[in-house]
Amino acid sequence: MRWLEVFVVPLGLVVGIGLVLLIQGGEAVIAEGERPPPSTGRPVAPKLAVGDDEDCASAVEEVQQTVHQLEQRLAIAKLIRSAQKARRAEREGIPQPWPDDVAPSLRSSAFEATVRSAANETGFRVLSMDCSEYPCVATIDKSEGLLVASGSSSKDLEVLIDALDVGDDVRAGPSRSALTREGRYVSSFALVDQNIDNAEGAERRLQWRLERAQKQVRP
């Protein structure tokens, strides 16, 4: 039996060393497999495994359905927006740009200066001035001064135009007058260039601006 010990012991040592080397080699392989690829500074596209084609097709179909739903919502939103703009235009008219050939006396700076100058002559007080679009709208308190004696809005504007001295091409536009809670006689008016034709929605727009000016001074 002595010879068996002599044979088995070295054999065990050889097998043990082989197992150690095998295990160490396996760990080295695993560690190498887990090591991330070297960075190149650019995103690396993922590798598709077998069976990913069906997943991609399903994802594409889902995205297409979402896009279709969003397009439908966008179309509905545009229709609602268009209807809102139409209702607003019907109620407020269409904002009017300044004509290139409007009478110089009706330009915002000239008109405001002329109205304020006339206020000193006729005794009325300027409450507000809106020249954000054509034509300018002025709101005055005419409870005192020359205008209060006329008794009619049209006569007031005739007196006012004479006082303003804005030229022969200017005529009185529409106006709105009312008494405030304090008993003040407030009038909003506009002067227009008679050589310029009204654009689409201009008349309704001016009426709405006059109404707005009145509400601002007598809430």
CB atoms within 10 A of CB 137: 24
- Count, residues in the chain: 219
Q: Number of C-alpha atoms within 13 angstroms, CB side, residue 74?
A: 6
pTM here is: 0.59
What span, in angstroms and rounded, lies between the C-alpha atoms of 197 and 204?
A: 14
Task: State the Cα angle at 185 between 105 and 137, rounded to 5°.
Answer: 25
Mean pLDDT split into 10-residue runs, the chain, 219 residues: 44 46 44 53 53 74 89 92 84 88 90 85 85 93 58 54 72 82 84 84 90 83
Structure tokens at 18: 């082989």
pLDDT at 158: 62
Q: What is the dihedral of CA 135, 137, 143, 147, to 10 degrees?
A: -10
Give how far Cα 115 sits from Cα of 14, 174, 196, 206, Å.
115, 17, 21, 19
What span, in angstroms and rounded, lies between the C-alpha atoms of 81 and 68?
A: 20
What span, in angstroms and rounded, lies between the C-alpha atoms of 113 and 104?
A: 12
pLDDT at 58: 83
- Cβ neighbours of residue 166 under 8 Å, at least 6 residues apart? 103, 105, 106, 111, 114, 191
